[in-house]
């Protein structure tokens, strides 16, 4: 991706449009207005040179990302309960499968809950993954109450000594009121059963959607307490630059990034690795 190197190149050109071009490039790559403006100010104050530009960029990004902790939260008692939320098509179900695979390989007992009962195809998709990965799944017929499916899932997880319960949910933001009710009910059911909120409520965002992802953070944050973000589809042309304004503006840690459609294409977020990726 070599984003930081490209910025360096534009800077080194040092023509009348350089500053404007840097700002434009940063915005195109979703670094966010605040970050871009701060950096331009540094250039104007002549704190940036050909020699230090890459280091300055890296340091500025690191300073922002260091404000959040990407650690995954596990309570002392099992099951750990992770709820996945997000708009349609961002990659919730795929990310659940990837994490199920990851944790299973670490020797953990994983179970899935098909909390997206709105479409039969949604439960089916999760069931296919469960079969492939040989992991138990709790599901009910289309149109069932998601709270009831989650209740079943929690009971089953407790009785089977499951370590990690991964709960899928519907992403119909167009019916915001229903979704709000649904997610809040799921949270209540979890809290009642295990005596605490989900250990992680992970908002799944698609890196391709750019600034729209920020609007999705606002929508979902108004419904549930987001503990972390899974940023998917950081492959192809999307750079992952959106991570900067996510953390800078909302203070929510990015906990996982997904870099493809394969089951292994998930990584726990790491600042150094991310900066390396931006450097190319």
Residues that bind ligand GTP (CB under 6 A): 86, 88-94, 116, 122, 171, 204, 232-233, 235, 258-261, 265
Q: Considering CB distances under 5 to 8 angstroms, the limit depending on partner class, which of ligand GTP, Mg ion, none binds residue 94?
A: ligand GTP
Output 165 or 207, the one with its CB closest to ligand GTP: 207
Output 11 or 216, the one with its CB closest to ligand GTP: 216
Q: Considering CB distances under 5 to 8 angstroms, the limit depending on partner class, which of Mg ion, ligand GTP, none binds residue 233?
A: ligand GTP
Output 79 or 115, the one with its CB closest to Mg ion: 115
Q: Considering CB distances under 5 to 8 angstroms, the limit depending on partner class, which of Mg ion, ligand GTP, none binds residue 212?
A: none
User: Alpha-carbon distance 202 to 252, whole Å?
Assistant: 10
Output 47 or 176, the one with its CB closest to ligand GTP: 176
Q: Considering CB distances under 5 to 8 angstroms, the limit depending on partner class, which of Mg ion, ligand GTP, none binds residue 79?
A: none
Output 22 or 137, the one with its CB closest to ligand GTP: 137
SS (H, E, C) the chain: CCHHHHHHHHHHHCCCCHHHHHHHHHHHCCCCHHHHHHHHHHHHCCCCCCCCHHHHHHHHHHHHHCCCCCCCCCCCCCCEEEEEECCCCCCHHHHHHHHHHHHHHCCCCEEEECCCCCCHHHHHHHHHHHHHHCCCEECCCCCCCHHHHHHHHHHHHHHCCCCEEEECCCCCHHHHHHHHHHHHHHHHHHHHHHCCCCCEEEEEEEHHHCCHHHHHHHHHHCCCCCCEEEEECCCCCCCCCCHHHHHHHHCCCEEEEECCCCCCCEEECCHHHHHHHHHC
| Nearest-approach distance from CB 117 to ligand GTP, in angstroms | 11
| Nearest-approach distance from CB 93 to ligand GTP, in angstroms | 3
| Nearest-approach distance from CB 74 to ligand GTP, in angstroms | 24
| Nearest-approach distance from CB 6 to ligand GTP, in angstroms | 22
Q: What is the dihedral of CA 255, 259, 262, 268, to 10 degrees?
A: -20
Residue of 220, 206, 190 lying closest to 85 (CA atoms) = 220
Residues in touch with Mg ion (CB under 5 A): 92-93, 122
Q: Considering CB distances under 5 to 8 angstroms, the limit depending on partner class, which of ligand GTP, Mg ion, none binds residue 235?
A: ligand GTP
Output 112 or 154, the one with its CB closest to Mg ion: 112
| Nearest-approach distance from CB 90 to Mg ion, in angstroms | 9
Whether omega for the bond prior to residue 79 falls within 30 degrees of 0, making it cis, is: yes
Q: Considering CB distances under 5 to 8 angstroms, the limit depending on partner class, which of Mg ion, ligand GTP, none binds residue 265?
A: ligand GTP
| Nearest-approach distance from CB 157 to ligand GTP, in angstroms | 21
φ, ψ of residue 261 to 5 degrees: the values are -90, -10
Q: Considering CB distances under 5 to 8 angstroms, the limit depending on partner class, which of Mg ion, ligand GTP, none binds residue 239?
A: none
| Nearest-approach distance from CB 2 to Mg ion, in angstroms | 33
């Amino acid at each position: 991706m070599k984003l930081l190197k490209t910025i360096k190149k534009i800077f080194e050109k040092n023509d009348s449009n350089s500053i404007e071009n840097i700002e434009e490039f940063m915005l195109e790559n979703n670094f966010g207005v605040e970050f871009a403006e701060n950096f331009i100010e540094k250039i104007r104050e002549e704190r940036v040179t050909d020699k230090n530009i890459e280091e300055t960029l890296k340091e500025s990004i690191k300073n922002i990302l260091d404000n959040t902790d990407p650690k995954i939260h596990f309570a002392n008692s099992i099951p750990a309960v992770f709820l996945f939320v997000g708009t349609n098509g961002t990659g919730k179900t795929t990310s659940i499968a990837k994490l199920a695979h990851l944790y299973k390989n670490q020797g953990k007992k994983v179970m899935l809950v098909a909390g997206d009962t709105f479409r039969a195809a949604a439960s089916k998709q999760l069931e296919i993954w469960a079969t492939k990965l040989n992991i138990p799944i709790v599901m009910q017929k289309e149109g069932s109450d998601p709270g009831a499916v989650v209740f079943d899932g929690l009971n089953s997880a407790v009785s089977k000594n499951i370590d990690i319960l991964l709960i899928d949910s519907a992403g119909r933001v167009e019916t915001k009121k229903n979704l709000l009710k649904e997610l809040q009910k799921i949270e209540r059911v979890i809290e009642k059963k295990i005596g605490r909120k989900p250990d992680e409520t992970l908002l799944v965002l698609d890196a391709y959607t750019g600034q729209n992802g920020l609007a999705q953070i606002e929508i979902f944050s108004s419904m549930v307490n987001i503990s972390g973000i899974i940023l998917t589809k950081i492959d192809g042309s999307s750079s992952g630059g959106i991570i900067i304004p996510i953390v800078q503006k909302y203070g929510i840690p990015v906990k996982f990034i997904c870099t493809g459609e394969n089951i292994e294409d998930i990584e726990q977020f790491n600042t150094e690795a991310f900066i390396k990726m931006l450097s190319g």
